[in-house]
Amino acid sequence: MRLLLLAPLRAQTGNGTTARRIQDHLEAAGHACTLKDTLDCKASVTVSNLISSGNFDAALGIHLYKAGRFLQGSPVPFGIVFGGTDINEDSKCKKKAQVMGSVLDEARFAVSFSEAMKEKAATYWPHARNKIHVQPQGIVTNPSSSFNWKDWLRSAGISPDNSDLRLFLLICGLRRVKDPLYLVDTFAEWHHEEPNVHLIIIGPAVDPVLVEEANEKVKRADGVHLLPEIPQEDLHAVVKRSFAVVNSSVSEGMSAALLEAMDLNVPVLARDIPGNAAIITHEVTGFLYSTPQEFIRWSQKLTANPSLRREIVIRGKAYITKHHSWEEERNTYQSLVLSLQ
């Protein structure tokens, strides 16, 4: 089949990463899969014309609102994949919720990353419950063996030669929903007490206003560093050498950064929100915190108890192996897309 895959494709963001992974799954089954960025779409008629002129047989959208609204009235059958902010945030807007309900009416199938997300969607659109399939993100990591992480640290003003160095890595696009500055003040206070701890915030500059605000705040926060995005394989190499990976979002669908850290045998500390709680069992596969002070407390506990850290890592890896199989995800999408024929 010739498939149109419509999604927000901003580099190094969750929806874009998911879209490219699904594209790989579908092309491996012999389908021709063309990616289209929702930012290039003005109205559903634009997508309908694209589908007709490109002789597409079917379409798949990622994000129930951002992509789904453009697939309404599609001349070919389509499926939809929930994005996270669509269910957690856009659904609170009556107008958007009505649009998303209509999209679900037309879609042949929908995919949710978790049971919790499916159940939340079903409270808004109960008629669509039976067409929602649960398929967690499939995870595969490939750390670069040639990345010079020591020079990278030096460029951030951090000495890699400190044997007691503890790096906390917050991986996110700089936008409000990720709340990247949530921990900055409290972490800086901790760094004054323990100079070997550092928080690195790394990711693409998405919101220019927030980027300016972040640069100003980090300048005044000792032990906190704001760095631009790097290629994924290099990022995975940095994750492997980190003490822990952090999430401070106010809303998440399913954080690939957390899952990849667990796959790389690195502990995770995440803000206690539904999307994070769906993949982390507190003090079993990671830690959930509700305040910056709680974050520091759990981080200190992780530092003081090496055996706990090892147990968290082992259980986190086991969770990824059991629930986030890349092969299972591939099989699911290759099977679902056949219903679009």
pLDDT greater than 90 at residue 280 = yes
Sheet holding 110-112, edge to edge: 32-37, 2-7, 58-62, 78-81, 110-112, 132-134
Residue owning tokens 């044997």: 163
Asked if 203 and 239 touch (Cβ cutoff 8 Å), the reply is no
What pLDDT is stored for residue 89 in this prediction?
84
Cα–Cα–Cα angle for 256, 311, 254, nearest 5°?
15
The domain locations on the chain are: 2-138+325-340, 149-323
Q: Each residue of 210-219: pLDDT tens digit? A: 999 999 999 9
Q: Each residue of 172-207: pLDDT tens digit? A: 989 898 999 999 999 999 999 999 999 999 998 888
Q: Could you tell me the CATH superfamily of domain 2-138+325-340?
A: Glycogen Phosphorylase B; (3.40.50.2000)
Q: Is there a shared CATH topology between the 2-138+325-340 domain and the 149-323 domain? A: yes
Retrieve residue 262's tokens.
């667990």
**CA 91 and chain centroid, separation:** 19
Residue closest to 111 by CA, chosen among 94, 98, 128: 128
- Domain 149-323 grouped into CATH 3.40.50.2300: no
With the C-alpha atoms ordered 243, 257, 301, 312, is the resulting torsion angle positive or negative? negative
What pLDDT is stored for residue 42 in this prediction?
86
pLDDT greater than 70 at residue 130 = yes
Q: How far is CA 143 from CA 133, 148, 169, in A?
A: 31, 12, 15
Asked if 5 and 22 touch (Cβ cutoff 8 Å), the reply is yes
Q: Each residue of 43-87: pLDDT tens digit? A: 889 899 999 998 999 999 999 999 999 999 999 999 999 987 788
Query: How far apart are the C-alpha atoms of 318 and 314, rounded to whole Å?
Result: 6
Decide which of 253 and 5 is more confident: 5
Q: Each residue of 226-247: pLDDT tens digit? A: 999 999 999 999 999 999 999 9
Strands (E), 163-203: 166-171, 197-202
Q: Each residue of 81-119: pLDDT tens digit? A: 998 778 888 888 999 999 999 999 999 999 999 898 999
Q: What is the per-residue DSSP string for 232-278?
A: HHHHHHHHHTSSEEEE--S--S--HHHHHHHHTT--EEEE-SHHHHT
Q: Each residue of 134-179: pLDDT tens digit? A: 999 999 999 999 999 999 999 989 998 888 999 999 999 898 989 9
